[in-house]
Amino acid sequence: MRKKITTIFLLCCFAISLAAQSQFGEQPKLVVGIVVDQMRWDYLSRYYDRFTDGGFKRLITEGYSCNNCLINYLPTVTAIGHTSVYTGTTPAFHGICGNSFYIDGRKTYCTSDTTVQTVGAKGNRGQHSPRNLLSTTIGDQLRLHTDFRSKVVSVSYKDRAAILPGGHSANAAYWLDTKNLCFVSSTYYMEQLPDYVLNVNKAISKNKEAKEAGDYIGYTPLCGTITTDMAIATLQGENLGRGEAADMLCVSYSQTDIIGHEWGTRGSRTDDAYLTLDRDLARLLNALDAQVGRGNYLLFLTADHGASHNWKFMNEHKLKAGPLYMDDLKNRIEDYVSQKLGATHSLVDDVMDYRVFLNHSSIADQKLNLQQVKQVVADFLGKQQGIVTAVDMEHVRTAALPQLLVDRILMGYHPRRSGDVIFIPEPQHYIWWDKATPTRTTHGQWNPYDAHIPLLFFGWHINQGATSREVHINDIAPTVCQLLHIQQPNACSGKAITEITK
């Protein structure tokens, strides 16, 4: 009897082994990545009862939710978030250190590229590419794995939210030119727009609401609807999910960020943005079902960052918060350094994303010691109301900071792109310029309101469930790559989420 049981056990193990081996030859027909700009994790529960059955609620009830997904670097901003999702790493390695940042002393917009031209409209709105990105993405690895038979296409309102997810070898990336009210691309990808994009642009030109919104279309939920229209047109026009190799579609929704910055995390405009997006997601899922088939595509949805509640809103409810008025911070730093060290010319190039970018050439010309200048700047910032501390980023490891902050600063630090001094505000305190607007919000910090984001997996080989284990934004790419049985992006620092891949 014991011998019989042992034989059955070994046969079962052999069967399981064969089943596991067979998975190496399997891939979904299509991978779909969705990033919702400025979506806090708690929006999933806040709007759950108001969601339709076919959008967010379907992803939650049929998919797998990572309920404790955190951003593990600083600062938490759009370009970095989108890049980290798809590269599986952080600014320390992928080099996209902000929406704008300095490369060896030269201010650079993250995707700016004057060597390419606009495709689809007149003007410079298409002079963008992924050239400043230092690492590969999921899409790059997928195309490498299939000898470039896979198609990778990315769509968004924002140029950076289309270009950075697609990676270096994407077949196409499309973003909205608000001046001409049409989707454009650049000569990095193509010489002319395909017919399906031209058809979408014709429909936009005939849309009365879109024409009335004009340059301000990003401030309306219609922006998300148009993005969905473009995503569905791309799905069908490129015949994604029907080729001989797995394809990838990257879709990023930007209107939620623009509306959030203008009207905050509360109110009818933000509500409308997410409820309209929910219906648009349902349309996209229906289109995927129709073209690729239920269970034949792997989809993930996440965010590039969250958002803080407006500080006035918090104060009204007796919750501590406040602004850091930064309109004259650069000048105040200059004055302080001049007083302490006798500087006669400007030493500060910029203050952005809670970082100070110093002009190293000017410091050298004035025969000042760079380390001393950085220490004086940090001392000044650390004394400002609403700021906990400031540190020289080259010496973060020895700073008197909690390990959590040390790790996040280092993961966000690239020595030639991230500036010199970083400052940490008190909770619910953030950079503010506009004293007249009471409803706005922003983001960029380590705190949960900025760093806790949704992460949902859905579709191919995904079982329904959830985990509260801490995972990170750079764990998404290695998870997807392991499911596809392809190599991780070449600077990947995240770890596959085993609850998904087992």
Q: Where are the alpha helices (DSSP H) in 95-194?
A: 138-145, 159-166
Determine if residue 170 is left, alpha or beta; phi over 0 gives left, psi from -120 to 50 gives alpha, anything else beta: beta
Position 432 confidence tier, pLDDT thresholds 50, 70, 90: confident
Mean pLDDT value across residues 330-339: 91
- Is residue 249 scored above 90 in pLDDT? yes
Does the annotation count 78 as an active-site position?
yes
Q: CA-CA-CA-CA torsion for 160, 166, 170, 176, nearest 10 degrees?
A: -40
* Residue pLDDT, tens place only, 382-405: 999 999 999 999 999 999 999 999
Q: Which of 6, 52, 78, 111 is catalytic?
A: 78
The DSSP string of 188-229 is TT-SS--HHHHHHHHHHHT-HHHHHHGGGGGGSTHHHHHHHH
Q: What are phi and psi of 387, to 5 degrees?
A: -115, 130
Closest CA to 421 of 485, 303, 330: 330
* Residue pLDDT, tens place only, 444-497: 999 999 999 999 999 999 999 999 999 999 999 999 999 999 999 999 999 999
Residues facing 391 on adjacent strands: 422
Nearest-5° Cα angle at 406, 404 to 408: 70
* Residue pLDDT, tens place only, 273-317: 999 999 999 999 999 999 999 999 999 999 999 999 999 999 999
Q: Which residue has the tokens 């949805």?
A: 301
